[in-house]
Amino acid sequence: MRVYTGSGDRSYPWRAREWLRRSRAEPAGPYTLRVHRRALGLLFAVLAAGLSGIAVFSALEGGRAWVIALAAAALGVWMGGLSLRALRRI
């Protein structure tokens, strides 16, 4: 009969826990970091473009939509900056 001392014993089998421990201990190589930075840069660029589109269409709508336009423009500029920073480090 096996005695469980807590939920950690039942969460992952022994081999999975060992694999997780080893995978966290190994540092990522430079190629992996470049791929992740490129993917993040492209993701942020797409988000910045979408938010900029929302800002433009909200500004064209007028009225109270200017609040949405200003917020979307601010977020679009921020995401664009993150995108440029991520893509420059490649």
* pLDDT for the residue 3: 54
* pLDDT for the residue 35: 84
In a domain, 17, yes or no: no
Task: Tell me the pLDDT of the chain (90 aa) as tens digits.
Answer: 555 555 555 555 556 666 666 665 566 677 777 888 899 999 999 999 999 999 999 999 989 999 999 999 999 999 999 999 999 976
Answer for the pair 72, 55: CB distance below 8 angstroms, yes or no.
Answer: yes
Give residue for tokens 């992740």: 36
Task: Give the phi and the psi of residue 16 in degrees, each rounded to 5.
Answer: -65, -40
* pLDDT for the residue 25: 57
In a domain, 70, yes or no: yes
* pLDDT for the residue 1: 52
Which residue range(s) make up the domain with 44?
29-88
In a domain, 14, yes or no: no
Name the token pair of 88: 């420059």
Domain count, the chain: 1
In a domain, 1, yes or no: no
Please give the model's pTM, rounded to 2 decimal places: 0.66
In a domain, 23, yes or no: no
- Residue 65: exposure state from Cβ atoms within 10 A (0-12, 13-18, ≥19): middle
- Residue 73: exposure state from Cβ atoms within 10 A (0-12, 13-18, ≥19): middle
